[in-house]
Structure 1
Amino acid sequence: MNREDFNEGLLGFLDASPTPFHATQNMAGMFENAGFTRLHEVQKWNLKQGEKYYVTRNDSSIIAFTYPKSKNYVMIGAHTDSPNLKLKPNPVIKEHGVVKFGVEPYGGVLLNTWFDRDLSLAGRISYLDSQNMIKDSLVDAKKSIAIIPSLAIHLDREVNEKKSVNAQTDICPILSTNKEFNFENFLKWLLVSGGAEDIKEIYANELSFYDTQNASYIGLESEFIASARLDNLLSCYVGMLSICSVDALSPMLFIASDHEEVGSESASGAGGSFLESTLKRMFSDFEEYTQMIRSSILISADNAHAVHPNFASKHDANHAPLINGGVVIKVNANQRYASSSKTISRFMNVASSLGEPIQNFVTRSDMGCGSTIGPITASRIGIDTIDIGLPTYAMHSIRELCGSYDAYSLYKIILGFSE
């Protein structure tokens, strides 16, 4: 696969994955097409050596693995969720001639970027059918149905000097001027549009707004890719494609967990039991399990802050990654990243053998440092881990920016681990 084909697939994956549920569904479809067999956590597993498998949890987290029944696994970890505006359970607000929805910020949203964008709504709805069975359905309005208009500068003359956003009052998307709007009918329309039938009663929903603008190339020579949810669907795509590209006898595992942006403390997050229970079902003998863990490596892949050309002072000058400068190794003395000299050396050795460039990121010593699934997974599983990422501008904006060369470079490095 060349870089152009790789990136075209990436753009399609980004556009088709407005929520973690859709991203997981799309990855599951990719694994099916690549010959992976689906497993279910509530059923007994009868794993066969030399086969490939995948399993999901909560429809929003997914694990895929080859099963050569050997040690020395290369594991790639990413997350399916991105900061967004989630619909509240009782969201309808009718006032001042419009219908608007109450929302709650999910994760560290860069709120200013959500104004004046064409928004749609997607997620999961649970309902009861005529047989009194509870069913879940993924839905996507697939068109612009809402917008959060900015306040005119004439009514806020100091907006360019100071701008704060009140998460309760300022970011309610406007949907309609129809005074007869009915939320139940709206949810039913979403369900029917998504193919659901036999809807007796609607119970609950997990719906999020998203920007309808498609992912695209930017730059005079298409040096950049602009899209929503690059953090962290970019890494999901690389990990998914990597495990689909290796032989079934090459020990590799890919996990994409939900809820990283809010701390990972959930049943389907990296702080939960999903990966550990899967590994213990793969290696039921404790000796074999421990030997596999201690001979394997986890590549925790999450986006990295590229040095912003207009705000370069926000970076440590000696650790300021460049867009299209290669994969970034992330280090933190206080273990906010799990990289160690041993795991860094192993990663650098593979990258060097392929001629792929490597960069380093350390946050300024006078600034706080974010974290990833790396330290969480390393603590829970006991696996040697490296935190890496792809350089990105505008992280947690409604539309982020990455390079059109870096993700393909990471893909080649991960495959280099299996050679």
Structure 2
Amino acid sequence: MERKNAWSKYTSEKDKKKVMAFGEDYRKFLSTCKTERECVAFFVEKAEKAGFKNLDEAIASGKKLKAGEKVYAVNKGKELALFIVGTEDLESGMNILGAHIDSPRMDLKQNPLYEDSDIALLDTHYYGGIKKYQWVTIPLALHGVLVKKTGEVMPVNVGEDENDPVFGISDLLIHLAADQMDKKGAKVVEGEDLNVIVGSIPGFDKKGEKEKESVKKNILKLLKDKYDIEEEDFISAEIEVVPAGPARDFGFDRSMILGYGHDDRVCAYSSFMALIDCKEKLKKTACCLLVDKEEIGSVGATGMESRFFENIFAELYNLTGDYSELKLRRALTNCKVLSSDVSAAFDPNYASAFEKNNSAYLGRGLVFNKYTGARGKSGSNDASAEYVAEVRDIMDKDNVFWQTAELGKVDQGGGGTIAYIMGNYNMQVIDSGVAVLSMHAPCEIISKVDLYEALLGYEAFIKYA
């Protein structure tokens, strides 16, 4: 069943301007927030301006939270939960918008800096599923934090300002690439070859002889003079190597956005904005949960597998009603969730990988995936038919343009989200999100109208679920 193109809904210039304005705000966000920490800092600042208070302060005061109050909680600077308290007791559950804010990238190793053939390089370990050959010969930037032994946290952001240098990974010239061109795509560039070039000026002694590892020494001197960084400080650093430069309008009609990290910041941003802009008096408490580590299996203290969400839910319950462990279990079971993650957009250049009747299309609105997984639905949540029907009704109430899809042909591949982890609590969960072209590439493409329909869909879910 073919769905209508969502642009048909925005025929007047006034309506189209709303779509474009929201897209521009998102484009600016995507251009500056390229790590989980940067996303959390951005969202917290906006949330506080919208009247959200830190949940830690409420816990410390012991003051009960009333309907309409807004709170947030941060986990280790890389995970964020925001809540608007509803009029109903939490035992009836929450309406949750869950997304992730990590994206595929390269991370610096703990001992990254070395010299080879008069070139200084940084050694990396790639993070998440990438086609490694896509990351060579493009301008790269360094984002993250470096923590000194004193506990001082030093932000790192080099390669974004027009006056900054950029970095990169070299590739073998075509003239010498006969053997390379015969390799499979997964082997064209190996993981250990993703070494970032950062300098090439050596140092010389008084006789004009090049000193040993002098290029590396020169880089270390520069880092010390400009940033007060010692080589050993890299051991306690989290520095991510990401594509340099801003996200850009894409296409003559500027209907799309090209940028790094649409997966999954496009869903995180629209979910967040749906919550903080909510003006409704809500019956059920609404939550926006933005997690880390989804790209590597949702593991660790800041991933969805962590107890962070469950613990924060308990703290919130304790501040809103008559808390008990049994009531918390009931509340978790009664939650309804949109696991907001991107979907693969049908690409006419690679049509053979898709099944047209069950693909997401650019420009046709918010995408719902009843199931994800791989080959036989392995690793999938697989939403119930009853919940799918409920979500259909919610979207249609607010005239949200939406579509359904699966992730390519049955035996072509697959992927997963945080949905199954929420489902482990016996919550009603379905995957939803925005269709993306070139997913997991250094630059991905989304439609501005799909982004806007996602916002409207998430707003409707908060109101009616």
User: Shared fold (TM-score greater than 0.5)?
Assistant: yes
Q: What residue in structure 2 maps to residue 257 of structure 1?
A: 291
C-alpha change, 1:159 and 1:137, in structure 2 (3 Å) is: same
Structure 1 letter corresponding to 2:431: D
Q: In the TM superposition, what whole-angstrom CA distance separates every residue of 1:290-316 from its partner, at most 9, and x where no partner exists?
A: 443343311101110011111111112
**Paired residues for 1:119-130 under 5 Å:** 119-129=140-150
Indicate which of 242, 258, 266 corresponds to 1:234.
266
Q: Offset of 1:77 from its aligned partner?
A: 0.5
Distance 2:356 2:198 in 1: 46
Pair 1:325 & 2:354 matched: no
Aligned residues: 408
Distance 1:339 1:115 in 2: 39
Pair 1:139 & 2:156 matched: yes
SS class of match (2:47):
helix
CA contact (8 A) 1:66 1:249 kept: no
Q: In the TM superposition, what whole-angstrom CA distance separates every residue of 1:231-282 from its partner, at most 9, and x where no partner exists?
A: 0111110111011011484221011111000011111100001111111111
Q: Offset of 1:73 from its aligned partner?
A: 2.2
- Largest Rg, 1 or 2: 2
Pair 1:350 & 2:382 matched: no
Pair 1:75 & 2:96 matched: yes
CA contact (8 A) 2:141 2:166 kept: yes
C-alpha change, 1:366 and 1:170, in structure 2 (3 Å) is: same
Q: What residue in structure 1 maps to residue 384 of structure 2?
A: 340
Structure 2 letter corresponding to 1:26: F
Q: Offset of 1:417 from its aligned partner?
A: 2.5
Structure 2 letter corresponding to 1:315: F
Pair 1:220 & 2:241 matched: no
CA contact (8 A) 1:81 1:260 kept: yes
Distance 1:138 1:118 in 2: 20
Q: Offset of 1:204 from its aligned partner?
A: 0.7
Pair 1:400 & 2:416 matched: no
Q: What residue in structure 1 maps to residue 69 of structure 2?
A: 51
Q: In the TM superposition, what whole-angstrom CA distance separates every residue of 1:325-364 from its partner, at most 9, and x where no partner exists?
A: 1111113355514422122212211211222222222242
Q: In the TM superposition, what whole-angstrom CA distance separates every residue of 1:366-398 from its partner, at most 9, and x where no partner exists?
A: 23321100111221x331111112111111101
Q: What residue in structure 1 maps to residue 208 of structure 2?
A: none
CA contact (8 A) 1:338 1:378 kept: no
The alignment's TM-score, normalised by the length of structure 2, stands at 0.82
Q: What residue in structure 2 maps to residue 302 of structure 1?
A: 341
Distance 1:97 1:405 in 2: 49
Distance 1:63 1:206 in 2: 22
C-alpha change, 1:155 and 1:361, in structure 2 (3 Å) is: same
Q: What residue in structure 1 maps to residue 174 of structure 2?
A: 153
Q: What residue in structure 2 maps to residue 366 of structure 1?
A: 411
CA contact (8 A) 2:59 2:315 kept: no
Question: Which stretch shows the higher mean deviation, 14-23 or 140-149?
Answer: 140-149
More helix by proportion, 1 or 2? 2
Q: Offset of 1:3 from its aligned partner?
A: 1.6
Distance 2:104 2:411 in 1: 25
Q: What residue in structure 1 maps to residue 80 of structure 2?
A: 62
C-alpha change, 1:408 and 1:316, in structure 2 (3 Å) is: same
Pair 1:171 & 2:171 matched: no
Q: Identity of aligned pairs, percent?
A: 22
C-alpha change, 1:345 and 1:187, in structure 2 (3 Å) is: farther
C-alpha change, 1:158 and 1:358, in structure 2 (3 Å) is: farther
C-alpha change, 1:68 and 1:308, in structure 2 (3 Å) is: same
Indicate which of 356, 361, 376 corresponds to 2:421.
376
Structure 2 letter corresponding to 1:321: A
Q: What residue in structure 1 maps to residue 310 of structure 2?
A: 276
SS class of match (1:318):
helix
Please list every run of 5 or more consecutive structure 2 residues that lacks an aligned counterpart in the other structure: 1-16, 203-213, 372-376
Question: Which stretch shows the higher mean deviation, 175-184 or 250-259?
Answer: 175-184
Q: Offset of 1:160 from its aligned partner?
A: 5.5
Q: What residue in structure 2 maps to residue 94 of structure 1?
A: 115
Distance 1:126 1:55 in 2: 22
Q: What residue in structure 2 maps to residue 104 of structure 1?
A: 125
CA contact (8 A) 2:369 2:405 kept: yes
CA contact (8 A) 1:119 1:144 kept: no
Q: Offset of 1:15 from its aligned partner?
A: 1.1
C-alpha change, 1:144 and 1:403, in structure 2 (3 Å) is: farther
Q: Indicate the RMSD between aligned Cα atoms, in angstroms.
A: 2.5
Question: Which stretch shows the higher mean deviation, 342-351 or 392-401?
Answer: 342-351
CA contact (8 A) 1:127 1:135 kept: yes
Structure 1 letter corresponding to 2:154: S
CA contact (8 A) 1:78 1:255 kept: yes
Question: Which stretch shows the higher mean deviation, 77-86 or 212-221?
Answer: 212-221
Please list every run of 5 or more consecutive structure 1 residues that lacks an aligned counterpart in the other structure: none
Structure 2 letter corresponding to 1:252: A
Pair 1:14 & 2:58 matched: no
Q: Offset of 1:68 from its aligned partner?
A: 2.9
CA contact (8 A) 1:21 1:138 kept: no
Structure 1 letter corresponding to 2:240: S
Pair 1:391 & 2:439 matched: no
CA contact (8 A) 1:124 1:205 kept: yes
SS class of match (1:405):
helix
C-alpha change, 1:399 and 1:339, in structure 2 (3 Å) is: same
Q: What residue in structure 1 maps to residue 238 of structure 2?
A: 206
SS class of match (1:324):
coil
Pair 1:27 & 2:43 matched: yes
